[in-house]
Amino acid sequence: MKKIFNMSNPKVERVLADLKRLGYRLTRPRQSVLQVLMEADGCLRPEEIHARARRYCSTLGLVTVYRTLSLLSEMDHIRRVHREDGCHSYARTELAHGHHLICRDCHQVIEFPGLDNMSTLIDPIARETGFLVEDHMLELVGLCPVCQEKVEA
Amino acid sequence: MKKIFNMSNPKVERVLADLKRLGYRLTRPRQSVLQVLMEADGCLRPEEIHARARRYCSTLGLVTVYRTLSLLSEMDHIRRVHREDGCHSYARTELAHGHHLICRDCHQVIEFPGLDNMSTLIDPIARETGFLVEDHMLELVGLCPVCQEKVEA
DNA sequence: GACATATTGAAAATCTTTTTCATTAATAAT
DNA sequence: ATTATTAATGAAAAAGATTTTCAATATGTC
Ligand SMILES: [Mn+2]
Ligand SMILES: [Mn+2]
Ligand SMILES: [Zn+2]
Ligand SMILES: [Zn+2]
């Protein structure tokens, strides 16, 4: 099958090539999910991805979304992000490195972008322990500006 | 109700006092869950906690485990730890607070040494966001040396 | 175009967690 | 100790998220 989008996204192209290289078929459902993920600038839940991707492939089933997410995760083109409410979100690997800053009072959650210096922290630990560190999760807890004032008052 | 365990654990005592202070009842089901959590030296899933706590309170329902976990989390006596497979584990705050290195295959948990440079990481974020960062949780996930070999083989 | 089969979607199954609600038991008052 | 109050409990049902099953379909190849 040919690409389903006339206007081509270089990120999408790259993944499509990778899929083909590995012998996977370039189906319309897959392409629709991929397109959504690669044009998004944040984390999306499977349900959201499903809704958006249906605009490109109206017959798309949620099951296929899950299957595609799992495949793209394996290939490390997207990454799964933990959510407080139990389920998961997915984002392009470049974006998925966000960390959380949580206010212990109002429970506000701020995402802050990935830290490049994270590896200066992790590398020595990997070396010492012999672990192959594949992922990390950093969560900061404290008081947001608003709640700091509430406490002072 | 009086305490259900003749041999008393100081950690359990402390939480019981706190519960009483806040007007909660010291029920047998609650005490059994608490006991399990405070005598454990690692993370436990609700199902595991349920199984263990039943030895102290045979009628204990899984629902009550969830309710107690949520209460103790609110009170910050235990902390919820994210798991790769979607569900959550819980551990005493002291245990859950440190930095952990978790093997995604054998689930081994190693506590890893010295992160003095944590503040070089956190300070800029605090400055940018205006948050007062009081606590942090860092979890590294990967493969332990043993499980790396298993994969290679 | 025909073929082989990887992929799909619907439905059912699983699994974790939450809600509902009638019953039970902890605490405080008598 | 007995009783009254009502927070807390457990069973069952519901809610969600994700996975499995399987017959039908669409893709890449010849
Ligand atoms: Mn990260
Ligand atoms: Mn999680
Ligand atoms: Zn706040
Ligand atoms: Zn291991």
Please indicate if any CB of chain B lies within 8 Å of the CB of A71. Answer: no
Report pLDDT for A86.
76
Q: Sketch out chain B's domains with CATH numbers.
A: 1-94 (1.10.10.10), 98-153 (3.30.1490.190)
Which positions in chain A touch B132 (Cβ < 8 Å)? 142-143, 148
Q: How far apart are CA A141 and CA A99, in angstroms?
A: 11
Asked if strand D contacts A88 at the CB level, meaning under 7 A, the answer is yes
Work out the angle at residue A76's Cα, subtended by the Cα atoms of residues A70 and A79, and round it to the nearest 5 degrees.
Answer: 70
Instruction: Inform me whether the C-beta atom of residue A114 falls under 8 Å from chain B C-beta atoms.
Output: no
Given a contact cutoff of 8 angstroms between Cβ atoms, the answer to whether B79 and B93 are in contact is yes
Decide if A139 touches B, using CB distance below 8 A.
Answer: yes
> In the predicted model, what is the mean pLDDT of residues B29-48?
94
How far is CA A44 from each of CA A88, A92, B115, rounded to the nearest angstrom?
8, 10, 32
The tens digit of pLDDT for each residue in B51-82 reads: 999 999 999 999 999 999 999 999 999 988 87
Q: Which of A17, A63, A134 is nearest to B140 (CA)?
A: A134
B110 vs B105: CA distance, rounded Å: 13
pLDDT at A1 over 70: no
pLDDT of A89 above 90: no
DSSP state of A110: E
C10 C1' to B80 CA distance, Å: 36
**A43-57, A77-91, B11-25, B42-56: range with lowest mean pLDDT:** A77-91
CA-nearest of B86, B85, B68 to B77 is: B68
* Pick from A31-40, A140-149, B39-48, B51-60: least confident: A140-149
Specify whether the backbone of A133 is left (phi greater than 0), alpha (psi in -120 to 50) or beta: beta
Neighbouring C-beta atoms of residue B91, cutoff 10 Å? 21
**Region B26-49 average pLDDT:** 94
State the smallest CA–CA distance between residue B134 and chain A in angstroms: 5
Q: Residue B124: what pLDDT?
A: 84
Query: Quick one: which residue's CA is nearest to D26's C1'?
Result: A27
Q: Which of A61-70, A95-104, B35-44, B126-135 has the highest mean pLDDT?
A: A61-70
Instruction: Measure the CA–CA gap between A115 and A97, rounded to whole angstroms.
Output: 8
**Contact yes or no for B129 and A112 at CB 8 A:** yes
Closest CA to B76 of B122, B9, B1, B135: B135
* B144/A130 Cβ within 8 A: yes
The number of the ligand nearest the C-alpha atom of A129 reads 4
Euclidean distance between CA atoms A8 and A28, whole angstroms: 14
State the ligand closest to the CA atom of B89.
Answer: 2
Reduced to 3 states (helix: H, G, I; strand: E, B; else coil), residue A139 is: strand
Residue B133 to residue B136: CA distance in whole angstroms:
8
D10 C1': nearest CA residue: B61
Q: What is the model's pTM?
A: 0.77
Q: Residue A110 above 90 pLDDT? A: no
> Residue A116 — very low, low, confident or very high, per pLDDT cuts 50/70/90?
low
How far is Cα A43 from Cα A91, in angstroms, rounded to an integer? 5
> How far, in Å, CA of B73 to CA of B130, rounded?
26
